[in-house]
Amino acid sequence: MEPLTRRNMLRAGGALGALGALSVAAPAQAAWTWSAKGSVAGAGAGADPRWVWDDEADPLVASLIERGDVPRVNALLRTWTKNGQPLPAGLPADLHAFMESARQLPPWADPAKLDLAFDFNEKRGLYLGVLYGLASGMMSTVIPKEARAVYYSQGGADMKDRISKTAKLGYDIGARNAFRPDGEMVVTAVKTRLVHAAVRHLLPQSPHWAGVADEDIPISQRDMMVTWHSLPTTVMRKLRDWEVPIPAAESTAFLHSWQVGAHLLGIRDEYIPATWAEADAQADQVLTPILARTPEGVKLADILLKLGTPIDAGILSKPILGAFTRFMLGDEIAQWLEIPREPVWDPLLRTAWGPFVAVREGLLPFPLAPKAYWLFDEFLRKAALLFLSEARPIRIEIPLTNRPE
Ligand code: HEM
């Protein structure tokens, strides 16, 4: 249950309303009982990350906005694209100092695991593209706090642009040398950390967001972990469901790349799960129970499903993307998102996906593979491309406003 914020109380209109607010609050957030012993830090104070944001970045970025430094900073940061590149000259001293520290890999980062993660990403690129786009991406629309934050922030007005920026993160984390000097993931993560800090400052000023949000400041560390689970944890769960054979070392390496990613996004080590078992336990507590329908999420999902419209007038892409969403996230979520049933694609995915994966993985003898299974490959590439082809040129920049009126 959300603690009753001052604004909730006011909105609910006094004591009677407060009682009502208590009984109708959005899906309850379970108490935080996940132990920091299971984290990459191995220990921690155990504070509920619901009430932790980003102590370093938040006041700094709020001050950049207030000082009018953001346009200059954004222009300078456009030239900063590679992990190993020095920060551009001319950044405000406080920002420079913060970014120098924020760009450091954690001491527990393991280069050998990060290299192995690339092998995994390369081998599983097809599945990963589809899963990031359609399982993680669509799941974000049924994470109420995220859906509201995205919808009412500047990026919510241009989802094509927004999705391309998120796709860049998915691409950068899976690229060769992602975290090495010639890679880009450190840059992307640190810039994203600045964007999130800006959103924490800006969104509370949006009357639209404030009118529907059940919190005063968005993007807590707990929310960050919820979204994190919609990415690697959800992807790994699906790959396991589909019985894709993954060597243990590769699975650990994939997790590791996302642990390092989480650290660079400003998530505290004490909240980052050390193992898949710990990740699953944390996701069961923080992700699964909070999934719910919001009007903002329904609108965002509709925009996402229509992203292919300029290419094929939505004739093929929308039904396929809808059917994939239903297949991956289930009937209940599809219903929340008002995704219609697809008489051709729904049954095809249900019956043919398992054998398709098996064939791809070489578990079934090749000559027995009906030709139709191979068609999936082509459709999948198209579906993934719909999300990823928008990905250029992509600049992650500190926003100065919320969603325009
Ligand atoms: C911006 C990724 C968690 C809300 C971004 C951007 C990326 C990103 C790459 C930059 C794109 C842009 O500038 O539009 C992530 C990742 C997360 C995470 C990997 C967790 C592991 C969250 C959470 C929320 C959130 C928990 C809200 C509850 C936003 C918003 C923006 C943003 C509102 C700015 C959109 C805009 O106005 O442009 N995020 N995010 N993010 N994120 Fe996140």
Q: Is residue 374's pLDDT more than 80?
A: no
* Site to substitute for ligand 1 among 199, 258, 300, 388, most atoms within 8 A of C-beta: 199
| Closest atom, ligand 1, to C-alpha of 203 | 33
CA of 316 to the centre of ligand 1 (A): 29
> Cβ–Cβ contacts within 10 Å for residue 19, how many?
11
Answer whether the bond into residue 393 is a cis peptide, omega within 30°: yes
Lowest mean pLDDT, pick from 145-154, 206-215, 379-388: 379-388
Q: Mean of the per-residue pLDDT values for the chain? A: 85
CA torsion angle 160 166 169 171 (round to 10): -50
CA of 20 to the centre of ligand 1 (A): 32
CA of 197 to the centre of ligand 1 (A): 10
Structure tokens that stand for 162 in this block:
């927004």
| Closest atom, ligand 1, to C-alpha of 267 | 21
Contact 121, 272 (CB under 8 A): no
Q: What ipTM was assigned to the predicted interfaces of this complex?
A: 0.98
Kindly report the protein residue whose alpha carbon is nearest to atom 42 of ligand 1.
196
When pLDDT is averaged across residues 1-6 and rounded to a whole number, the result is 38
When pLDDT is averaged across residues 128-156 and rounded to a whole number, the result is 90
Q: Residue 153: phi, psi to the nearest 5?
A: -90, 175
> Measuring CA to CA, which residue among 168, 221, 167 is closest to residue 58?
221
Kindly report the protein residue whose alpha carbon is nearest to atom 14 of ligand 1.
162
pLDDT at 6: 33
pLDDT in tens, 21-58: 333 334 567 789 999 999 999 999 989 999 999 999 99
* 34 Rama sector, left if φ>0, alpha if ψ -120 to 50, beta otherwise: beta
Pocket of ligand 1 (CB under 6 A): 145-146, 149-150, 153-155, 162, 165-166, 169, 192, 195-196, 199, 218-219, 223-224, 227-228, 265, 396, 399
CA of 141 to the centre of ligand 1 (A): 13
Residues 138, 318: Cα–Cα separation, whole Å:
13
Residues 6+ apart with CB under 8 A from 121: 128, 174, 175, 254, 257
> Measuring CA to CA, which residue among 264, 141, 243, 294 is closest to residue 193?
264
| Closest atom, ligand 1, to C-alpha of 226 | 26
